[in-house]
Amino acid sequence: MGLRVTDQRIAFVASNTEEAQAALLEMRRRYEDVPLAQASVIVALGGDGFMLRALHRNLEFGVPVYGMKLGAVGFLMNQYQPENLLARLENAQAAILRPLLMRTLTEAGTSMSSLAFNEVSLLRQTKQAAHIRVSLNGIVKLPELVCDGILVSTPAGSTAYNLSAHGPILPLDSNVLALTPISPFRPRRWRGAILRAETVVKFEVLDPYKRPVSATADSSEARDVVEITVRAAVDQNVTLLFDPEHNLEDRILNEQFEL
């Protein structure tokens, strides 16, 4: 998918780093910058962390996002190059990201809903290992998982925290999720599962007072949770744009051959 040259109303956003802010000034000098509400495409300048924040903040506008790497990590970004931006946008290829919806309930009775484009992760809050019951579509699959944590990853996020926890790398169009334990103690041989994208995952924290757990959807955290439900977010998605030689699907494939 490319953008027509006549439909390239660009809104620039940038992280607060000195390098990204300098690039923002340069891009605004070269190209017209419109308000977000009027844009047909958003150009994000920064690293992957900033890209995730930009996706969350600008989801309501429903326009494609094209990232330029000006940070330490740039898996979701294209190379920064101020020249020829209009031609790059016109020739860009699209990748559709479908987020997860996390709903949490805390021991205090408060609830929260958050979206995750990469993963939803549960982590122990103290020196005590977490004890978590895992259910899929209302059926208990693990009565008690003793671990440091557990996560549910999207294909786009499978090369991030999920990979560090020894989870599988998922093709972008695979329509599956990775369920990956973090330092599991019991069951000792359980290494996770690959789930259909429509699966509803429920986590129940056992003994939450002695063994408190936090839940994080990308960068949105809830502490002292007792119940967490994760499912695909219905009618919520975002389009990322990539240069043909740096498309996201090829990057995910190539990660599987990195030594």
> CB–CB of 246/254 below 8 Å?
no
Asked whether the predicted pLDDT for residue 1 surpasses 60, the reply is: no
Handedness of CA 121, 172, 72, 31 (dihedral sign): negative
pLDDT of residue 219: 85
161 annotated ligand-binding residue:
yes
Task: Flag whether pLDDT at 76 surpasses 90.
Answer: no
Res 15 pLDDT > 90: yes
Q: Report pTM.
A: 0.87
pLDDT for position 185: 94
Q: Domain 5-97+237-255 sits in which CATH superfamily?
A: Probable inorganic polyphosphate/atp-NAD kinase; domain 1 (3.40.50.10330)
Enzyme catalytic residues: 48
- pLDDT for the residue numbered 184: 95
Q: How much is the average pLDDT of 219-238?
A: 93
DSSP the chain: ----GGG--EEEEE-SSHHHHHHHHHHHHHS----GGG-SEEEEEE-HHHHHHHHHHTGGG---EEEEE-SS--TT-BPP--TTHHHHHHHPEEEEE--EEEEEEETTS-EEEEEESSEEEEEESSSSPEEEEEEETTEEEEEEEEESEEEEE-TTTTTTHHHHTTPPP--TTS-EEEEEEES--BSTT---EEEETTPPEEEEEESTTTS-EEEEETTEEE-SEEEEEEEEPTT--EEEEE-GGG-HHHHHHHHTT--
CATH homologous superfamily for the domain 100-232:
Probable inorganic polyphosphate/atp-NAD kinase; domain 2 (2.60.200.30)
User: Given this model, what pLDDT does residue 251 score?
Assistant: 74
Tell me if domain 5-97+237-255 and domain 100-232 are identical in fold: no
As a whole number of angstroms, the distance between CA 19 and CA 81 comes to: 13
Q: Return the domain boundaries, the chain.
A: 5-97+237-255, 100-232
Q: What percent of the chain has pLDDT over 70?
A: 96
Q: Does residue 122 have a known ligand-binding role?
A: no
Average pLDDT estimate for 162-167:
94
pLDDT digits (tens, 9 = 90+) for 3-14: 554 578 999 999
Residue among 167, 163, 171, 155 nearest 192 (CA): 167
Tell me what the mean pLDDT of segment 144-172 comes to. 94
Q: Does the pLDDT at position 2 exceed 70?
A: no
**Is 220 annotated in some ligand binding site?**
no
156: annotated binding-site residue?
yes
C-alpha closest to that of 130 among 221, 195, 223: 223
Annotated binding residue at 48?
A: yes
**Which of 193, 92, 91, 116 has the alpha carbon at shortest distance from 150?**
193
Residue pair 38/11 in contact by the 8 Å Cβ criterion: yes
Q: Is the pLDDT of residue 218 over 80?
A: yes
Is 218 assigned to a binding site?
A: no
Q: For 115-136, what is the mean pLDDT?
A: 97
Q: What are phi and psi of 160, to 5 degrees?
A: -100, -120
Q: What digits encode the pLDDT tens for the residues 38-72?
A: 999 999 999 989 999 999 988 889 999 999 999 77
* 173 among annotated binding-site residues: no
Q: What percent of the chain has pLDDT over 90?
A: 80
The rounded mean pLDDT for the chain is 92
